[in-house]
Amino acid sequence: MTLEIDDKFKEECGVFGVIDFSKEFNCSELTYYGLYALQHRGQQSCGIAVYLEDKIKYFKEVGIVNEVFNEDLLNELKGSLSIGHVRYATSGQNLSINAQPFIIANEEKKFAIAHNGHILN
């Protein structure tokens, strides 16, 4: 058996999440550092969504993590659960509407979702 290694630079999106059962930490801050460490996986856009007291707050924008987020914004995004995403665009334009996490809702619940890959309809 041989292992072939492709020497071409390839990366995909980065997804990072935090759950704080103790509710003592600012999950958005921990997610920021996780996304910063994953920045090499996508530089087009980034976003963080947090959950606290049955509400989802989020912010996403075109740009890299340390340019999009600052301390004041992370303090506004306090929560006990978080999901973050850095985007490496393989389809779609580099617009803030394509930044993740996506917030979707049905009649009963709201969800924050981030993924790596394509979701086709």
Backbone φ and ψ of 66, nearest 5°:
-75, -10
Q: Which of 2, 13, 69, 84 is flagged as catalytic?
A: 13
Measure Cα distances from 14 to 1, 17, 38, 53, 106 in Å: 31, 10, 6, 27, 26
Q: b or e along 1-27 (b: 16 or more beta carbons within 10 Å of the residue's beta carbon)? A: eeeeeeeeeeeebbbbbbeeeeeeebb
Cβ neighbours of 75 (radius 10 Å): 11
Please, are residues 93 and 100 in contact by the beta-carbon 8 Å criterion?
no
**Is 46 marked active-site?**
no
Residues annotated as catalytic (active site), given as ranges: 13
